[in-house]
Amino acid sequence: MIDIAIKVETLSKLYRIGSRQKGYKTIRESIVNAVAAPFRRLSSTFGRRSSFSDFPSAVGHSIWALRDISFEVKRGEVVGLIGSNGAGKSTLLKILSRITEPTHGYAEIHGRLGALLEVGTGIHPELTGRENIFLTGAILGMGKGEIERKFDEIVAFAEVDKFIDTPVKHYSTGMMVRLAFAVAAHLEPEILLVDEVLAVGDMAFQKKCLGKMEETTKGGRTVLFVSHNMGAIRQLCNRVFWLDQGKLMANGGVEKVVADYQAESSKGFIQRNLESDFLRIEAVILQAKEGQPRSSFRPGEDLVIEIHFFAKKFIRKPYFWVTVVSQYGSLIGASMLLDGHQPDSIDGDGTLTCTLRNIPLLPQTYSVRMGVRAENGVVFLIRTAEVAFFTVEGTAKSLGFKEERADTLMGNGAPVVIPYEWKLPDGRTFSVNPKWVKPYEKMFSNPED
């Protein structure tokens, strides 16, 4: 039995900028593709090499999405794929799924392949929820009998039972997302490709998705998992690939590769290619209160997040939000969806600044995520994505904690600390007040004070 599930050799993909894009597919085209999908997957089971042409002699207006990528994934491995937007992650998964062909090199797939490359793929608005379950399931390679056996479970997971016979065009965005993920989550392939499915839906649904993903990874399947959520990568994966501008930068253990990626990302404070048809985020700069760009802060300092954007069209009352995230999930943030203080409009170049006061964070590495919604609060102008990383410096002793194991335990618990109080069974009461001492130099230069 072959121990390798995925083998990629010198894989490269060239896109020509400005080339004509295909339009939306009709129902007929979707059904034809669904019927053909099992045969495409069957051919990949035998490790069929993708066809390729020689490198173009003149690339003109073009961009290399991938350049000379080579790796192997063993059966049963759960591999994370990380990198900034535009790094080539989705292109790699599309080549592995036989959606697009490489310009050079080849990819072998040994086993039945399932792919969730974009939540909502295959959902047709004119069909009911019930019809879409069968259509999407067929597109993803599920047989009719398999879909029927899992139908009730899929509906229950999606929480759309009351609307199952309603056309999907009447669903909310959240309902459509739940339906699409529910179908894909009940696939039983030997190899599963997943592209950023945990970045959609509300918090309760994201936790549900993460639980289902964890269940899948523990079932012995081979998984290649793309995510900007480093907490999910740490929780689910046992190896990580880091892509940057189409090149494989690192391939190794989760903690080391993630730490290297975060350290490198914190140098530029820029999230490349974070844009939509309406808006482009050109730079995100982290600063201290005095206005100097920084990648490290101290507990209790202000964190200033400066967002430089370009609105391609006139946009009325957009909602921006930012969130500070640790490996355990979202911690603190600011959202115009909650406070209602959005700009009246944006058009062209602009800068928006959010200051998080006195960040109550323990020494660790954190990421900053942001997103933008339209005036209706539903449509994404910029989908939620990581835009920067920063480190909080210090020790437990410098914050006033006395337990000798505190420094080793700080990274294993909740990273937000606020004043609190213990009342012991014998009636004694102890107050704990972290030392947000200013100036900060005193706190770190003389921790015994």
Domains and CATH numbers, the chain: 4-263 (3.40.50.300), 269-392 (2.70.50.60)
Q: Are 14 and 66 in contact (CB under 8 A)?
A: no
Q: What is the mean pLDDT of residues 419-424?
A: 79
> Which amino acid is located at 449 in the chain?
D
| Residue range 16-53, pLDDT digits in tens | 765 554 444 555 555 555 555 554 444 444 334 444 43
Q: How many CA atoms lie within 13 A of 324 on its CB side?
A: 25
Q: Is the pLDDT assigned to residue 390 strictly greater than 90?
A: no
Q: Is the pLDDT assigned to residue 305 strictly greater than 80?
A: yes
Q: How far apart are CA 269 and CA 282, in angstroms?
A: 10
Q: DSSP letters along 370-405, please?
A: EEEE-TTSSSEEEEEEEEEEEEE---TGGGT---TT
The 10 Å Cβ neighbour count of residue 101 is 14
pTM of the model: 0.59
Helix, strand, or coil here: 169?
helix
Q: What is the mean pLDDT of residues 398-412?
A: 62
Give per-residue burial for 55-90: e unless 16+ CB within 10 Å, then b: eeeeeeeeebbbbebeeebebebbbbbbbbbbbbbb
**According to the model, what pLDDT value does residue 119 have?**
58
Residue from 97, 49, 72 nearest 193 by CA? 97
Q: How far apart are CA 68 and CA 173, in angstroms?
A: 38
Q: How far apart are CA 34 and CA 142, in angstroms?
A: 10
Q: Is the pLDDT assigned to residue 436 strictly greater than 70?
A: no
Q: Torsion angle, CA of 91/97/99/100, rounded to 10 degrees?
A: 50
Q: How many CA atoms lie within 13 A of 108 on its CB side?
A: 15
